[in-house]
Amino acid sequence: MGVIFNRFSVPLQSITVARFADMCCTFARTAQSVSIKLKDQYMIIAFGENSLDKLEELLLSKYLLAKYFILVDTNTSEHCLPHLLETCESLQEAEILEIPDGEDSKCLEIVQQLWGGLLDSEADRESVLLNLGGGVVTDIGGFVAATFKRGIDFINIPTSLLGMTDAAYGGKTGINFHQLKNQIGTFTHPVGIFYDTVFLETLPNDHLRSGTAEMLKHGLIADAALYHQLKAATAGFAHDFDALLEKSLHIKMAIVEEDQNEKHVRKKLNFGHTFGHAFESFCAENGHHIHHGDAVAAGMIAESYLSAKKANLPALELEDISHFLTMSFPKVPFEKEDIPTLLQYMNHDKKMKYEQLQLPLLKAIGSCEIFDSVEVSELSEAFLYYLDSK
């Protein structure tokens, strides 16, 4: 495992276009941007295929003399970097930092190599790091930027549906540690996020499915109409998927703006993630690859069961959620005998407070609240419910 540092020297070419076999969607082709204030800084957020034009404007107006560094993984280096460099002339001389694709790169070893590469390239506090990739790239890139020389500016350019709906926005940066998800990190916001939906055309269907789980989560906790629209879209009924994506993003933005450091209402965004992170850690320990969205979908089934038990989620809505997610996402492989191990992973969850596990639970589809205490026996029941879900 290692980091590659170089300048981009292969000929520019059009990005690979993959077919959308399972999703009927159309994408907006005009850019729109907004500027919002988070903490003491303003962040530019641009939507649409031409959003990279807005990125060029930002670089020319604010970072004209800065050194540029672009973080990619082995996939985005091939499929997405040519489009970025073709669009943004300012980045032609940028240094390229390439890491291996996949969750294993979110580790201290890679972080140290990236810090070393920035030092070797004489990056200073005025330098800018552009994170071009999915959640792994924006998580680790944000962390590297937040900690290098006590912080340099960074920009997120998410290229996966999961990155767009989850990791790129919200100010969470981080890496995994001792097989546990996101144990080391910061709350640090990028100076800009640029959502170019043309990158989604490079994704295989399992990555699109993974990102859809986060959009479904936003519907379940805050917007029942979005949840049902996404159900219809995945069933093959035509929808403007770009509009659904933007609607999902606005739900997260509203919650983050209200609670930037996850002290209260932002914890709702963790729905499905407590169980989901335990599933991810368990699978990683056992050498089984699982997409983040697939783990979150499994977690949402388990936490919907607890919602019915503790938050009075109607039985018909529990059945609706459980059946739809079970049919739409692959099952996480574990046995009843593995539940004690999964519970041990939960003990390290960041949502533990005074040795009590806080869980966001559904009162109804589209409505969520935080519960401060869930018994271990109830967590075990939820794992068993997931095992039996069909």
pLDDT per residue as tens digits for the range 14-50: 222 222 233 333 333 344 555 555 556 678 998 876 7
DSSP state, residue 54: H
pLDDT band at 91 (very low <50, low <70, confident <90, very high): very high
In sequence order, which residues have a C-beta less than 8 Å from that of residue 190 and are 6 or more positions away?
43, 131, 142, 153, 154, 155, 156, 168, 171
Closest CA to 201 of 321, 380, 12, 23: 23
Distance CA 251, CA 371 (A): 21
pLDDT above 70 covers a percentage of the chain that reads 86
- Per CATH, domain 4-202 is 1.10.8.60: no
pLDDT per residue as tens digits for the range 270-313: 999 999 999 999 999 998 989 999 999 999 999 999 999 999 99
Across 38-63, average pLDDT: 84
Query: What pLDDT is attached to residue 352?
Result: 56
Distance CA 89, CA 64 (A): 12
Range list of H helices, 159-285: 161-162, 205-222, 224-234, 241-258, 273-285
Distance CA 345, CA 278 (A): 5
Across 213-234, average pLDDT: 95
> Regarding beta strands 128-133 and 95-99, do their DSSP bridges make them parallel or antiparallel, or are they unpaired?
unpaired
pLDDT above 90 covers a percentage of the chain that reads 65
In sequence order, which residues have a C-beta less than 8 Å from that of residue 270 and are 6 or more positions away?
351, 359, 360
pLDDT per residue as tens digits for the range 136-170: 999 999 999 999 999 999 999 999 998 898 878 88
Query: What pLDDT is attached to residue 180?
Result: 80
Fold of 205-388: Dehydroquinate synthase-like, alpha domain (1.20.1090)
pLDDT per residue as tens digits for the range 348-366: 765 555 356 889 999 999 9
Closest CA to 292 of 351, 211, 180: 211
Burial of 40 (0-12, 13-18, 19+ CB in 10 A): exposed
Task: Indicate the domain borders of the chain.
Answer: 4-202, 205-388
> Regarding beta strands 68-73 and 95-99, do their DSSP bridges make them parallel or antiparallel, or are they unpaired?
parallel
Q: Find the Cα–Cα–Cα–Cα dihedral 345, 299, 287, 387, rounded to 10°.
A: 100
- Return the H-helix or E-strand segment holding 359: strand 359-364
Query: What pLDDT is attached to residue 5?
Result: 58
Q: Find the Cα–Cα–Cα–Cα dihedral 107, 110, 115, 121, rounded to 10°.
A: -160
pLDDT band at 241 (very low <50, low <70, confident <90, very high): confident
